[in-house]
Structure formats: structure tokens, C-alpha cells
């Protein structure tokens, strides 16, 4: 089944404790992206990747890191999480962002930072 | 600055009636518009899209209208069904960026 898989689904952590949210897609998509969803703010892009070893900042990249060493994986790294990073996170992929390919989203990771 | 706005946070409609969800944008460089639907505990799923060179696109019960002069986009669902109850996001694409609106929660009651 074609899908985007995020892990974990739920995560509670404390301020400053490094964490990684994994994202994997099995559709051989070139483009991958991370979004956060917050009440009243919709979905905001954190980072995106056009292909392996090619990543760029989205609209809200502060406090986050990403890597794209393999085509299928695009982990989101919070080196020193803070409470304002408490949010619902979505990973997404598409064959290519150039053109009209819709994004395929994972089921989300709800992160709470205390 | 919110480039894509959905000014109605929620909408309630009776089953069988029309649901109209609205979206406004500010960037005239957007060349493609999409609607996504999101159920609780799931990621958004693609619903329907429209190119900026068109003013209407239809797919079954779903129709998207684009008014470029007004920078306005709307999604019509006819007839509405209880299973349509979800949060709907409009999104607009420019070059390599996809910008989402804040979402409208649709509730369709039997």
C-alpha cells in the first residue's frame, strides 16, 4: 500500500531533550516536506526537500533540522525542543512539486514539550 | 502575513443541502489551487484542484470555482453528506511553495 509513515504518533518530552520524528514513504517520491498544524494558523511548512541531499527552509524552520540521505526517508530533528514546538506535525511527499502533483500526507505526530 | 485565508472557521449544513467553503488569497503569482480534507487523527487527503487558467473544475459532488480578479476560491459540495464532516484546507501553489489556509470545519447533520 502506497503510504507515508510517521513515527511516533504521540510524543511527550521535556524541554531540551533532543528528539527525532521519522518519516518514510514507499512511493519513490522526489519531494518531501514537513508541516506543523496549530489552531488558527493552519498548516505551515517547516522544511522541504526536492531530492536526496537537497533540503531547504520553509516558513517556520527555527528550532528544527532535517536530513535527506535516502530518497524514502526524511526525519525531523528537534535538537533542543521548547514548549512553543508543541504541535501536530505532518510529513508529506509528492512525485514532484513542479506541476500539479498533490501531496500525500502521513497521519501526523502529536508532540507535547513540557 | 497570511497569503491564503479561510475566514470561516466553521460551517454547519444539513444533509442534502449545498456546502460552500470559501478561500481568499493575496499572491497573484499562485498558479494552482488545491483543496484537502482532513478527518480527526488522520493526515489531510487531496480532494480537488484547479489551475489558474480555468475558472471551474468538477469532480462528482465537488466543484471548485476560481475568481482570479477577486482572488477568491470556493468549494461547493452538492449534495452534502454526513461523511463530508471534516476540516477543509485550501492551498495555493507558486513555484515550489504550497501555502495552506487556516481551515474550515464542516459539520453536516442528518
Across the interface, do B49 and A100 touch by the CB < 8 Å criterion? yes
What integer pLDDT is reported at residue B33 of this predicted model? 95
CB-based contact (8 Å) between A64 and chain B?
no
What integer pLDDT is reported at residue B22 of this predicted model? 98
| Cell numbers 507535547: residue | A112
What integer pLDDT is reported at residue B44 of this predicted model? 96
Please tell me whether residue B82 adopts helix, strand or coil conformation: helix
Give the tens place of pLDDT for each residue, A56-74: 999 999 999 999 999 999 9
Which of A97, A44, A101, A87 lies closest to B103 in space, CA to CA?
A44
Sheet containing strand B62-67, strands side by side: B4-5, B19-25, B72-77, B62-67, B56-59
Mutation target among A40, A88, A96, A102 for the B interface, most CBs of B within 10 A: A102
What integer pLDDT is reported at residue A9 of this predicted model? 97
Which residues of chain A register pLDDT less than 50?
A: none
Which of A46, A54, A28, A41 lies closest to A109 in space, CA to CA?
A46
Mutation target among B96, B98, B102, B105 for the A interface, most CBs of A within 10 A: B98
Give residue A99's region: left, alpha or beta (phi > 0; psi -120 to 50).
Answer: left
What integer pLDDT is reported at residue B97 of this predicted model? 81
HSE value, Cβ hemisphere, 13 Å, CA-based, for A13: 23
Helix (H) or strand (E) holding A5: strand A4-7
The beta-carbon neighbor of A42 closest among B32, B49, B101 is: B101
What integer pLDDT is reported at residue B1 of this predicted model? 67
Across the interface, do B49 and A105 touch by the CB < 8 Å criterion? no
What integer pLDDT is reported at residue B77 of this predicted model? 98
Across the interface, do B41 and A41 touch by the CB < 8 Å criterion? no
Q: Are the C-beta atoms of residues A71 and A60 closer than 8 Å to each other?
A: no
What is the DSSP annotation of A17-33?
A: --EEEEEEESS--SEEE
Q: A13-48 b/e with 16+ CB inside 10 Å = b?
A: beeeeebebebbbeeebbbbbbbbbeeeebbbbbbb
- The dihedral over CA atoms of B33, A101, B101, B105, expressed in degrees to the nearest 10, equals 100
CB-based contact (8 Å) between B62 and chain A?
no
CB-based contact (8 Å) between B101 and chain A?
yes
CA distance from start to end of chain B: 38
CA A15 – CA A63 distance, rounded (Å): 12
CA distances from B43 to A4, A9, B36, B69, B110 (A): 10, 11, 10, 32, 25
Residue of A nearest to B100 (CA): A43
What integer pLDDT is reported at residue A40 of this predicted model? 87
Give the tens place of pLDDT for each residue, B1-40: 679 999 999 999 999 999 999 999 999 999 999 999 999 9
| Cell numbers 517547516: residue | A46
What integer pLDDT is reported at residue B83 of this predicted model? 97
Across the interface, do B44 and A107 touch by the CB < 8 Å criterion? no
The Cα of B14 is separated from the nearest Cα of chain A by a number of Å equal to 25
Give the tens place of pLDDT for each residue, B53-101: 999 999 999 999 999 999 999 999 999 999 999 999 999 998 778 899 9
Residue of A nearest to B87 (CA): A42
Amino acid at each position: 500500500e502506497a503510504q507515508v509513515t510517521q513515527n511516533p504518533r504521540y510524543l511527550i518530552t521535556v524541554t531540551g531533550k533532543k528528539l527525532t520524528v521519522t518519516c518514510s514513504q514507499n512511493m519513490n517520491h522526489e519531494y518531501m516536506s514537513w508541516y506543523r498544524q496549530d489552531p488558527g494558523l493552519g498548516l505551515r511548512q517547516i522544511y522541504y526537500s526536492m531530492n536526496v541531499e537537497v533540503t531547504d527552509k520553509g516558513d517556520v524552520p527555527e528550532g528544527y533540522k532535517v536530513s535527506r540521505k535516502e530518497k524514502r526517508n526524511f526525519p525531523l530533528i528537534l535538537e533542543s525542543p521548547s514548549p512553543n514546538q508543541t504541535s501536530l506535525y505532518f510529513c508529506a511527499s509528492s512525485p514532484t512539486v513542479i506541476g500539479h502533483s498533490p501531496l500525500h500526507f502521513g497521519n501526523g505526530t502529536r508532540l507535547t514539550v513540557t | 502575513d497570511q497569503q491564503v485565508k479561510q475566514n470561516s472557521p466553521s460551517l454547519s449544513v444539513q444533509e442534502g443541502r449545498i456546502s460552500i467553503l470559501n478561500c481568499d488569497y493575496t499572491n497573484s503569482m499562485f498558479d494552482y489551487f488545491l483543496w484537502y480534507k482532513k478527518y480527526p487523527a488522520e493526515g489531510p487527503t487531496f480532494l480537488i484542484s484547479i489551475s489558474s487558467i480555468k475558472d471551474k473544475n468538477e469532480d462528482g459532488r465537488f466543484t471548485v470555482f476560481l475568481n482570479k480578479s477577486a482572488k477568491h476560491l470556493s468549494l461547493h459540495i452538492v449534495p452534502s453528506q454526513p461523511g463530508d464532516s471534516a476540516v477543509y484546507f485550501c492551498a495555493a501553489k507558486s513555484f515550489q511553495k504550497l501555502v495552506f489556509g487556516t481551515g474550515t470545519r464542516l459539520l453536516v447533520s442528518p
